[in-house]
Amino acid sequence: MADRKRTTSPFWQIPAEVIPAVTSPIGKLPPEIISNIFQFLPHDTITAANVVEVCKLWQFQGANLVWRRATLRDLFHYVSDPQRVAGFASQIETLHFGPRQGILADARIKTLDFTRLQRIQIYGHNLSFTDEDTLKALITPALKVFEVLDDFGVPFRPAPNDDNVWLALLVPVAHQITELSFREQIHLPYELLHDFLRGAIHLERVVIESEDSSQMTYHDLICILTSPKLEHLDLPGTFNIDTVVVNSLLRHFDPDWSLPAMRVLGRLSFDRGAGRVAARLLPVMPNLTELGLDLNPTLWDDAKDLKVFAVIGGLEKLEVVNIHMQLDDKCTIPSSSLLELIRLPNLKELIIETQKK
């Protein structure tokens, strides 16, 4: 361990009950012991490195509990004392629920206090079958990240929470959420989604892939873009941005409005003069490193819309560019436009996907 002179909480202060006895079989150590010990050690690099090496040597099945990361299944399996379960649950910072994981039906979850829980990753199928009291226990004032994962083709069945009670529970804590991700094709009621976005003033990452979110409006986009720390945005292809939306955005914000924190624009769809619309919006994101655009052909005019390639070519920090275009007789890509992209100094990946309308 680190030099005791540099240790703010010396080893002798660790309660005896959490210090492994030398004679204890390695595989029999309580799986929450590492997290308990971490409480009493300084957070300097040397100590952390030494403890991690010890953890590697221990090699017991609860190793994923290191650094307060845990699965409730492991916690309930390895720890029988209810008080110890409650104590460790109060330290958990990240929970990942795998597909079809029955642990969410365990009534003990409702009795636990997840005071430090900051990140939840859950599959949509599990989420819809989790009762309200369990969700109330998990969605706490400490929560910062809520991610609904894609079930990859799990058959849909009517579920108790198709009324999206989980989204309603997120609304009161929206002001503390920094990352919201819906990768599952689930229905998101417009009223609840709007209420959440209106209160989510500290968003840093937003991923909404559900095509059912086509009810989103520019008011929702304004709520998202208001966050000064926003760095990742990925919206469904059914949410189209046109001249009306861009005009509304530019009128709403100050003339010198910019999003310097933005690094990734995963997917954004433009329509009705897509090129000229995108060309007006992209300059407010000067530090983009990844860009994904859907450019639709409606009202496309080469003279006005091809300027988007010059604008993209001026975003010098771009490393990844992915453009999807629907082509017709009025929508073409001349070689001069492609050359605008080639001049990007840091470009590592360029994908232009074309599709005949």
Please, which pLDDT band fits residue 158 given cuts at 50, 70 and 90? very low
Average pLDDT value over all residues in the chain: 80
The type of residue at 239 is: F
pLDDT at 86: 85
Rounded CA gap, 5 and 223, in Å?
50
Residues 183-230 have pLDDT tens digits of 766 677 778 889 999 999 999 999 988 765 556 888 899 999 999 999
Does residue 356 carry a pLDDT above 80? no
Higher-confidence position of 128 and 115: 115
Mean pLDDT, range 22-42, rounded to an integer:
53
Angstrom CA distances, 204 to 44, 50, 261, stand at 27, 33, 9
Nearest to 192 by CA among 214, 222, 169: 169
Instruction: Return contacts of 3-9, CB within 8 angstroms, 24+ apart.
Output: 3/46, 6/42, 6/44, 6/46, 7/41, 7/42, 7/47, 8/42, 9/40, 9/41, 9/42
- Bigger pLDDT: 14 or 309? 309
Question: For residue 1, what pLDDT is reported?
Answer: 41
Question: Which residue has tokens 């002179």?
Answer: 5
> Residue 231 belongs to what H/E stretch?
none
Contacts of 236 (CB under 8 A, 6+ apart): 208, 209, 210, 211, 213, 214, 216, 267, 269
What backbone phi and psi angles, to 5 degrees, belong to 292?
Answer: -130, 120
CA dihedral for 183, 348, 353, 258, sign (positive or negative): positive
User: Residue 6: which residues within 8 A CB-CB, separation 6 or more?
Assistant: 42, 44, 46
- Region 6-24: what's the mean pLDDT? 44
User: Higher model confidence: residue 237 or residue 68?
Assistant: 237
Q: Could you tell me which of 281, 330, 282 has the C-alpha nearest to residue 303?
A: 330
The pLDDT confidence band at residue 269, using thresholds 50, 70 and 90, is very high
Evaluate if pTM is beyond 0.75: yes
Q: Give the model's pLDDT for residue 161.
A: 56
Given this model, what pLDDT does residue 36 score?
A: 56
pLDDT of residue 154: 58
Q: What's the confidence (pLDDT) of residue 16?
A: 46
Closest by CA position to 184, among listed 111, 97, 264 = 97
β strands within 72-138, DSSP E: 94-97, 119-123
Residue 282: phi, psi to the nearest 5? -60, -35
The two three-digit tokens of residue 336, written as one number: 């001069």
Lowest mean per-residue pLDDT among 45-59, 94-108, 189-203, 314-328: 45-59
Paired strand residues for 265? 233, 291
Q: Are strands 94-97 and 119-123 parallel, antiparallel or unpaired?
A: parallel
